[in-house]
Structure 1
Amino acid sequence: MRGVPSRGFTLVELMVTLALIAILAVMAVPSFRSFIANQQVKTASYDLLAALNFARSEAIKRNQDVTVAAVDDDWVAGWEVTSEDGVLKVWDAPGDLDFGDSPTSFTYLPNGRVSGGLSAAVSVCKSEATRRIVNVDMSGHARLSRSGACSG
């Protein structure tokens, strides 16, 4: 005579499975936090790079000065591209980032060069992430680079 086949899980099997899932989740959280921080820094730096390239293009196209400036002189609040005609585009900075001691604006001349003729950089950072630097050279070209881990 055969017994009735078992259907489903026992309470012990279910508890062991949940315990293993909890242990794996606890181990994964720190690296996931680092991943999110790196993505926020990456997104902000690419958005800033896009804003600078957009501003340079608009300055040449409109044959007038175009400025990329931090909102309220703070990159954390975002940035906007403006010309004599008003605000052309606005970006929000993602997350709680640190922009260090960076210049608060860049003005592109009608020839595509940056006003003042000096190269400058904006550092984008967040704890647990890799620092990214948006460099603007004297000719107005913007480039992105990485520069080690952020402190804090």
Structure 2
Amino acid sequence: MSGSTRRGYSLTELLIVLGLAGILLAVAVPSYVGVLRRQQLRIAVNDLVAAINLTRSHAVARGGKVLLVPLDPSGSSWREGWVVFVDENNNRRPDAGELLLFQHGPLEEGISVASVFSSSATPAYLAYNSAGRACSAGNSLAARWGTLSLVQGDSTRNIKINMLGRVRVCDPAVDGASCSSATD
């Protein structure tokens, strides 16, 4: 007879392996959640910057004013998403019959957006004129600049729009005073 012995794992060995797997999982999950949150904030900032650049490029290409506004019915919350459109009736809200160029849905849960511009206006908006400069919705020659701050937990990213309509993104934790936020 040939004697082959089959050997399995003992209960003790199996419990040790499961314990080690549990410890590794407990260490990895919080790190993964942090990475996921940073990525969500990065995506939200990139999406909003892309919408701002789209607004500017369409204003130049069309030779007239194009607006970027929050989707929120009151026009005050960027968190609900945003829309790029040609505002034919100058009410700073997208209405039926107006040309919608782009629409973005709500942001991920936990991301908030604050905005401060050189001229406060409700509803909130960002307008560009045919020269590609940030302007007032009512007067394409009046410059309008400001900051959109996206916050998620401890992380903040500021989207700064200067008088010429140029956009830059900064991190107040890294860039200090040169990166004041909309909530400062």
Partner of 1:89: 102
Q: Secondary structure at the match of 2:32?
A: helix
Could you list the per-position Cα deviations for residues 63-110 of structure 1 after superposition, in whole angstroms to 9, with x for gaps in the alignment? 111011111121110111011442110112431211134453101111
TM-score w.r.t. length of structure 2: 0.72
What is the CA–CA distance in structure 1 between the aligned matches of 2:26 and 2:127, rounded to whole Å?
47
Larger relative contact order (Cα-Cα within 8 Å, sequence gap ≥ 6): 1
What is the CA–CA distance in structure 1 between the aligned matches of 2:25 and 2:41, rounded to whole Å?
24
Uncovered stretches (5+) of structure 2, i.e. residues with no partner: 89-97, 118-123, 137-142, 175-184
Q: CA deviation at 1:10?
A: 2.7
1:110 correspondence with 2:130:
yes
Partner amino acid, structure 1, of 2:84: V
Q: CA deviation at 1:118?
A: 3.3
Q: CA deviation at 1:57?
A: 0.2
Uncovered stretches (5+) of structure 1, i.e. residues with no partner: none
Q: CA RMSD in A?
A: 2.2
TM-score w.r.t. length of structure 1: 0.86
Partner amino acid, structure 2, of 1:63: G
Moved more, 58-67 or 83-92: 83-92
Q: CA deviation at 1:125?
A: 1.1
Call closer, same or farther: CA 1:102–1:2 in 2, change over 3 Å.
Answer: farther
Call closer, same or farther: CA 1:136–1:2 in 2, change over 3 Å.
Answer: same
1:76 correspondence with 2:79:
yes
1:68 and 1:107 in contact (8 A); partners too: yes
Q: 121, 141, 149: which is aligned to 1:123? A: 149
